[in-house]
């Protein structure tokens, strides 16, 4: 059986579970209680509740830690090495311009232009690298979940091979989702700009219009984001192209938008709480910088503050931040992919196909 067997669209099976009951796990008021649904992997092969979706994500992280976190760690490590090397090259090529610009009282395009070009290119490289890495990590989550649902073992190499082949499709979908998220960000930036304009002109019209724009854009962005949320999972589990994956997501989310939104929001809240549980104790135990002397230069004060944040405290804080970011990067796509599987179980009878495959 191929890796993709049983995961493509199931034509003619819409509402299958509502008319057939081959395993007897749906309620039967006239007989003995039905047996539990089969559970070859991390979730039962039946419509999933919130506890089963979240529990399935945690179980996948626990049982498949190596093929799940290994590729993510490797991808982020490669991105970090590339960005550090690119930063070193950018600084080395513009060092003389940086020194010359720092010695001038006013900005000069003669020295500022090369700096902007070099570090603008660095930012573009970082954005493309982040897109590729995040898309690859999302693909590894779906590829690992493919085996976790069926209860089959998998390896680091197998997950990487399958995820890499689907990364371009996931990246195309991620670009669209990033554009959707940029709508409220851009509207908020416009709101701040209009607020400054109001302070300067004493006019309430600009900020009032932008506030109305925010009220429209934020719900629209949330609606679109949830509507396309299943596209990365469809791109991997169904080997669908970007446009096909987007259409599949819209079809599956239809009729379950609020449920998808609520469970995704709950997963985000869990990640936020876990991050705060780690970061708040560090905030309270942060070492105090030495009192600043009024006669001390600003650069010396800044250096003292950096030194006070270095050492073991900085190492623990950095490792903790990386760990929480890694968990978030894996946990949220797993929850979304499980929601995708749940919708297919409910609307396409995927449970029977998965039970046969397992």
Per-residue pLDDT reduced to its tens digit, 11-70: 544 333 333 444 444 455 566 777 888 889 899 999 999 999 999 999 999 999 999 999
Residue 36 located in a structural domain: no
Residue 353 located in a structural domain: yes
Q: How big is the chain, counted in residues?
A: 358
Tell me the mean pLDDT in the region 289-293.
Answer: 55
Distance set, CA 165 to CA 41, 45, 66, 111 (Å):
25, 27, 20, 43
More confident residue, 329 or 282: 329
The predicted-structure confidence for 113-145, as pLDDT tens digits, reads as follows 787 888 888 889 998 999 999 999 999 999 999
Domain of residue 177: give its range. 47-357
Query: How many separate helices (H) and strands (E) can be counted in the chain?
Result: 12, 0
Is residue 350 classed exposed, middle or buried when 0-12, 13-18 and 19+ CB atoms within 10 A define those classes? buried
Measured distance between the N- and C-terminal CA atoms of the chain, rounded to whole angstroms: 10
Tell me the mean pLDDT in the region 81-87.
Answer: 91
Q: How many CB atoms lie within 10 A of CB 229?
A: 23
Decide if 356 contacts 266 (C-beta within 8 A).
no
Collapsed DSSP state (helix, strand, coil) of residue 229: coil
Identify the weakest region by mean pLDDT among 34-38, 63-67, 206-210, 216-220. Answer: 206-210
Distance, in Å, from the CA atom of 333 to the CA atom of 69, rounded to the nearest integer, reads 13
Distance, in Å, from the CA atom of 346 to the CA atom of 349, rounded to the nearest integer, reads 6
Residue 23 located in a structural domain: no
Q: What is the pTM of this model?
A: 0.78
Residue 16 located in a structural domain: no
Per-residue confidence at 103, pLDDT binned at 50, 70, 90? low
Residue 232 located in a structural domain: yes
Averaged confidence pLDDT in the chain: 80
Distance set, CA 118 to CA 88, 92, 131, 337 (Å):
11, 10, 20, 39
The predicted-structure confidence for 154-173, as pLDDT tens digits, reads as follows 999 999 999 999 999 999 99
Per-residue confidence at 204, pLDDT binned at 50, 70, 90? low
Closest C-alpha to 146, from 304, 358, 331: 358
**The three-state (H, E, C) secondary structure of 281-339, written as one string:** HHHHCCCCCCCCCCCCCHHHHHHHHHHHCCCHHHHHHHHHHHHHHHHHHHHHHHHHHHH
Tell me the mean pLDDT in the region 209-228.
Answer: 82
Residue 11 located in a structural domain: no
Identify the weakest region by mean pLDDT among 50-59, 276-285, 321-330. Answer: 276-285
Query: Residue 297: pLDDT above 60?
Result: no
What pLDDT is stored for residue 17 in this prediction? Answer: 37
Distance, in Å, from the CA atom of 136 to the CA atom of 205, rounded to the nearest integer, reads 45
19-23, 248-252, 317-321: which is most confident:
248-252
Tell me the mean pLDDT in the region 212-239.
Answer: 88
Residue 39 located in a structural domain: no
Query: Residue 310: pLDDT above 60?
Result: no
More confident residue, 218 or 203: 218
Residue 29 located in a structural domain: no
Number of domains the chain is built from: 1
Residue carrying structure tokens 């503050």? 305
The predicted-structure confidence for 333-353, as pLDDT tens digits, reads as follows 999 999 999 999 999 988 888
């Amino acid at each position: 059986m191929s890796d993709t067997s049983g995961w493509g669209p199931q034509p003619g099976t819409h509402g299958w579970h509502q008319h057939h009951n081959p395993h007897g796990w749906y309620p039967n008021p006239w007989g003995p209680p039905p047996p539990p649904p089969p559970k070859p992997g991390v979730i039962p092969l039946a419509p999933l509740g919130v506890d089963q979706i979240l529990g399935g994500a945690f179980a996948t992280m626990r049982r498949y830690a190596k093929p799940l976190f290994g590729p993510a760690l490797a991808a982020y490590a490669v991105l970090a090495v590339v960005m550090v090397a690119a930063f070193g090259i950018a600084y080395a090529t513009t060092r003389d311009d940086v020194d010359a610009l720092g010695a001038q009282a006013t900005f000069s395009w003669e020295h500022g232009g090369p700096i902007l070009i070099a570090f603008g290119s660095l930012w573009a490289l970082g954005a493309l690298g982040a897109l590729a890495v995040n898309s690859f990590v999302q693909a590894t989550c779906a590829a690992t979940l493919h085996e976790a649902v069926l209860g089959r073992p998998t390896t680091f190499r197998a997950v990487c091979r399958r995820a890499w082949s689907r990364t371009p499709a996931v990246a195309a979908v991620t670009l669209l989702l990033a554009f959707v998220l940029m709508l409220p960000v851009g509207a908020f930036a416009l709101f701040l700009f209009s607020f400054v304009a109001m302070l300067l002109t004493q006019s309430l019209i600009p900020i009032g219009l932008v506030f109305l724009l925010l009220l429209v854009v934020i719900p629209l962005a949330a609606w679109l984001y949830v509507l396309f949320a299943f596209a990365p999972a469809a791109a991997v589990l169904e080997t669908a192209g970007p446009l096909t994956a987007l259409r599949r997501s819209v079809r599956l989310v239809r009729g379950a938008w609020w449920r998808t939104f609520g469970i995704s929001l709950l997963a985000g809240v869990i990640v936020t709480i876990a991050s705060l549980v780690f970061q708040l104790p560090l905030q309270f135990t942060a070492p105090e910088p030495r009192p600043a002397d009024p006669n001390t230069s600003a650069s010396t004060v800044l250096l003292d503050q950096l030194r006070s944040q270095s050492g073991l405290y900085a190492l623990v804080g950095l490792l903790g931040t990386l760990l929480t970011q890694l968990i978030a990067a894996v946990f949220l796509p797993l929850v979304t992919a499980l929601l995708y599987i749940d919708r297919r179980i409910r609307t396409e009878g995927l449970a029977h196909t998965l039970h046969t495959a397992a």
